[in-house]
Amino acid sequence: MRGSRRKWIHFEKMKSNSLTYADSGVNLQAADELVDRIKPYVRSTYGPRVLGKHGAFAGCFRLDYNERLFQHNYRDPVLVSCTDGVGSKVLLASKMGVLDTVGQDVVAMNVNDLVVQGAEPLFFLDYIGIHKIDPDQIAQIVKGIAEGCKLAGCALLGGESAELSGLYRAGDFDLVGMTVGVCELKKMVHGSRVEAGDVILGLSSSGIHSNGYSLVHHILRHAKLGLGKTYSELDESQTLGQVLLKPTRIYARQVIDVLNRYSVKQPIRAMSHITGGGLPGNIMRTLGSHLNARVNRKAWSVPPIFSFLQGHGQVSDDEMMRVFNMGIGYVCVVRPHFADSIAHQFRRAGEQVHILGKISRGTGRLVIV
**Structure confidence at residue 357 (pLDDT):** 97
Report pLDDT for 41.
82
What domains sit in the chain, N to C, each tagged with a CATH number? 22-187 (3.30.1330.10), 199-368 (3.90.650.10)
Residue 266 phi, psi dihedral angles, 5° rounding: -125, 80
Say if residues 183 and 259 touch (Cβ distance below 8 Å): no
The pLDDT value recorded for residue 88 is 96
Low-confidence residues of the chain, pLDDT below 50? 4-13
User: Do residues 149 and 209 lie in contact, with contact meaning Cβ atoms separated by under 8 Å?
Assistant: no
Q: In this predicted structure, what is the pLDDT of residue 11?
A: 46
pLDDT in tens, 106-146: 999 999 999 999 999 999 999 999 999 899 999 999 999 99
Give strand pairing partners of 163: 130
88-94 long-range Cβ contacts below 8 angstroms, 24+ apart: 88/213, 88/214, 88/217, 89/210, 89/213, 89/244, 89/245, 90/173, 90/174, 90/175, 91/172, 91/213, 91/217, 92/213, 92/216, 92/217, 92/227, 92/241, 92/244, 92/245, 93/245, 94/171, 94/172, 94/173
